[in-house]
Every structure is written in structure tokens, then in C-alpha cells.
Amino acid sequence: MTMKKLRLAIFASGNGSNAEAIIKHLLNSATVEVSRIYSNNKDAYVIERGKKFNISTDIFNKIEFTSQEFSETLLNKKYDLIILAGFMWLVPPSIVASYKNKIINIHPALLPAYGGKGMYGDNVHQAVIENNENESGITIHYVNEYYDEGDIIFQTKCTVLNTDTPDSLAERIHKLEHQHYPKVIEKLCAEIL
């Protein structure tokens, strides 16, 4: 008997290096697949990355994203998990409610520090460096109605050097993300199965 695979949706707004790391990691999985990518940005590089693996991307604007129809359609798709990977918009409460504890995000710092509205990308790394932190890291967490406030699933740290720029720190953080996000997702999937 062939078992039905768990189906993941990835939401991404930009480059999509985490999305690609996840897709690649699950490519040979017998139990989980990335079914679709969703993006608010028609120019996002994640779209090209998806194409390489025959994964289509749905593009939407803010009015569509916050509509009742969008959340109903998404609910009907019955994804097993929704993965945010560099997705810039707050997820509407109706989607959070219908996918309770099934939406996961990754943040490029050690939450609850350096989180919240406006804390994304280089803003995060800039603030970490300005505050002379010795360590930063990544946080993988469930998504609730607020930016970066859902329960934490996984964290790991890296050193911040006193020679770091936002770019060099971002590079170190990205490596950590690519190394851990796919595995954490795989583990969560194993718990659902």
C-alpha cells in the first residue's frame, strides 16, 4: 500500500534560500513533500527556485491574502504544515486559527530578543551588532497572531565577532538556518505521522 505523503506549503517573500534547503532535504522523502509555494512578491527569487523542482508558486496581494476566500481556500488544501521562510507579512488571525500549531516560522535571532514588527533581515543583525552581543542565533517557532511571539520549538546559537558586519553575521546565520530548519521540519512531520 502506498501511503499518502504529508504535504507542506512554503510561504516566502524573497530570496528563498531556506525554501530551497527544505525542498532539497525532502526531495527523497517517502513521507513528506513540499506541495506549493506562496508569495506576496511576483519578483521573488523563490519562484525560480521552486521551478527548478517543479513546484509552482501562487502570488497574492494584501487584499487577497486577508480575504475570507484566501483562508478558506488554504484550509481546503489541508496542508499538514505551513512553513514561513522569509515571509514578510503577518498571517491573518483566521488562517492562524484554522492552522493552529501548524504554522512554523524561522527568525534570524534568539527570540524573544530582537523580534517584533520591523525586526527582519539586516535590521536584526544591525541591532545585535550595535548592542555588542557576543552571541546570536536562530529561532524556529510556532506562529500566532503576533510577530515572532509563538511558542519556541528550537533555538541554536552562534558567535558574534567584533569584526562582524550585518552581512557577515547574516551569512553565518543563514548557514545555521539551512542546516537546522529542514531537520526540525522533518522531525515535526514525523510527530504528525
Residues at the interface with ligand GRF (CB under 6 A): 12, 14-19, 85-86, 106-108, 174, 177
**Three-class SS state of 65:** helix
Query: Rounded CA gap, 184 and 176, in Å?
Result: 12
Residue among 18 and 40 whose Cβ is closer to ligand GRF = 18
Would the CA dihedral through 80, 84, 89, 91 be positive or negative?
Answer: positive
CB of 88 to ligand GRF, least distance (A): 8
Q: Which of 40, 47, 88 is nearest to 61 (CA)?
A: 40
Residue among 80 and 148 whose Cβ is closer to ligand GRF = 148
Question: Which residue's CB atom is positioned nearest to ligand GRF?
Answer: 86
CB of 84 to ligand GRF, least distance (A): 7
Which of the residues 25, 107, 125, 141 is marked catalytic?
Answer: 107
Query: Rounded CA gap, 158 and 112, in Å?
Result: 16
The residues that are catalytic are 107
